[in-house]
Amino acid sequence: MLALFSVSEIGKRYPGLVEPAIFSVLGNQAESTELRIAAFNALLSLNPTETYLHRVASLTWREQDDQVLRVVDSAFYSLASKKDVEPLTSVYSDLPRKVYIVYPLTKKPSSR
């Protein structure tokens, strides 16, 4: 997991180089739940493109790990519900807008 966060630090400078690698860890159901959740968090920290957020939404429909599905749903729900909390000068000010667009496309956990 430490290597994943090290790569995500590099990704803050060069997101296009590390987004595919981090997404491949997230999408690999053979990886541990903890590593996949860490990959999802690392991907969000990069302020991913809307394309990658659409890919995450698509991934939820094939997701077999309920814990990963719940983390994705919870993060997307929180971001989509965010209303002007961050200043407009923030690097991440467009992440809630992008997630707001993508969130309706995600599969929701069965308990929600």
Residue 23 located in a structural domain = yes
Residue 56 located in a structural domain = yes
pLDDT in tens, 51-96: 999 999 999 999 999 999 999 999 999 999 876 555 544 555 689 9
Residue 110 located in a structural domain = no
Question: What's residue 87's pLDDT?
Answer: 53
Residue 111 located in a structural domain = no
Question: What's residue 84's pLDDT?
Answer: 57
Structural domain count, the chain: 1
Q: What is the CA radius of gyration of the chain?
A: 13
Residue 13 located in a structural domain = yes
Residue 72: domain span: 2-105
pLDDT in tens, 4-55: 777 877 888 888 889 999 999 999 999 999 999 999 999 998 899 999 999 9
Residue 18 located in a structural domain = yes
Residue-wise DSSP of 51-75: HHHHHHHHHHTT---HHHHHHHHHH
Question: Could you tell me the pTM of the whole model?
Answer: 0.85
3-state SS, residue 48 = coil
Residue 80 located in a structural domain = yes
Q: Report which of 22, 85, 82 is spatially closest to residue 55, judged by C-alpha positions.
A: 22
